[in-house]
């Protein structure tokens, strides 16, 4: 059996043991604070990992679009060549205004020539008839009919 002294000293020993455990308890509490901070960082990291996962999912879907865009490479090169052709076409069409003016001038000149030649054609026909009055003279070839020119 335990001695009476042991029983009387038991509360003191328990108190001393508890007091000796206080520094370890303080270290434990300090470690718990550090563990709490680490858990908070892990929780924040978990949120970031979720966002990274979402971004990766978007990248996977974007990869399909990139492959589709890459398949258009030949078409894009063709479009680049078409751009050069369009630039040359624009250069070529800049002279079309001057060409249209020249055509208008030619049409006016043709119209003026027609109005000038028509009276002369009547004179040529009269001279041809005058030449036919001589029965001994061979018949002169008939003058071609006037060619109508476009009027401006």
Kindly write down the DSSP assignment for every residue of 41-86, as one continuous string. HHHHHHHHHHHHHHHHHHHHHHHHHHHHHHHTHHHHHHHHHHHHHH
Where residue 141 falls among pLDDT bands split at 50, 70, 90?
low
Residues 43 and 55: their CA atoms lie apart, in Å, by 19
- 59 pLDDT above the threshold of 60: yes
Q: Look at residue 32 and tell me whether its pLDDT is greater than 80.
A: yes
**105 vs 125: CA distance, rounded Å:** 30
In angstroms, rounded to a whole number, what is the distance separating the alpha carbons of residues 108 and 102? 10
**What is the structure's pLDDT at 78?**
75
- pLDDT, mean of residues 79-99: 78
Give the mean pLDDT of 115-134: 78
pLDDT band, residue 135 (cuts 50/70/90) = low
Write out pLDDT tens, residues 42-51: 888 888 888 8
Q: Is the whole model's pTM more than 0.85, yes or no? A: no
User: Do residues 114 and 133 lie in contact, with contact meaning Cβ atoms separated by under 8 Å?
Assistant: no
**In whole numbers, what is the pLDDT of the chain averaged over residues?**
78
């Amino acid at each position: 059996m335990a001695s009476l002294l042991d029983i009387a000293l038991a509360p003191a020993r328990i108190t001393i043991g508890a007091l000796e455990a206080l520094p370890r308890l303080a270290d434990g509490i300090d470690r718990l604070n550090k563990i709490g901070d680490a858990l908070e960082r892990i929780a924040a990291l978990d949120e970031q990992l979720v966002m990274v996962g979402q971004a990766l999912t978007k990248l996977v879907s974007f990869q399909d679009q990139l492959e589709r865009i890459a398949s258009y490479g030949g078409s894009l090169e063709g479009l680049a060549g078409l751009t050069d052709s369009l630039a040359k076409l624009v250069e070529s069409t800049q002279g079309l205004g001057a060409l249209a003016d020249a055509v208008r001038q030619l049409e006016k000149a043709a119209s003026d020539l027609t109005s000038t030649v028509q009276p002369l054609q009547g004179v040529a026909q009269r001279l041809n008839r005058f030449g036919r009055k001589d029965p001994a003279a061979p018949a002169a070839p008939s003058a071609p009919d006037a060619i109508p020119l476009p009027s401006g």
